[in-house]
Amino acid sequence: MAKMKKDNIALHTLDEKWEDMTPGCTITGNGTSKLFRTGDWRVAKPVFIADKCKQCLLCAPVCPDSSIPVKNGKRLDFDYEHCKGCGICAVNCPFGAIEMKEGE
């Protein structure tokens, strides 16, 4: 008998072998926001000022949403579809190349 679903939760059947069940406390799928436009939650928008940027890349690794793309060793503009506007990048930029704009 196949697994049944109720409210998108897999229910195991009595004739299912324990070896085929998902172990408890195990995450079976990866957690990612790539599939969702989480940038719509933003209340402040980071603005990249390219003239001030020295390409130190200190902003990219601190972004919790990986919304600062880096290509060929240079940072690009923000991925606004996923940026939630936390401002961590602006705080970590030593050159003032990122400004937070409220309400955008």
Residues 56-83 pLDDT 10s: 999 999 999 899 999 999 999 999 999 9
pLDDT grade, residue 1 (50/70/90)?
very low
CATH class of the domain at 38-104: alpha beta
Arithmetic mean of pLDDT over the chain:
83
For residues 44-54, give the mean pLDDT: 96
Listed residue (59, 58, 89, 55) closest to 72, CA to CA: 55
Listed residue (30, 29, 87) closest to 59, CA to CA: 87
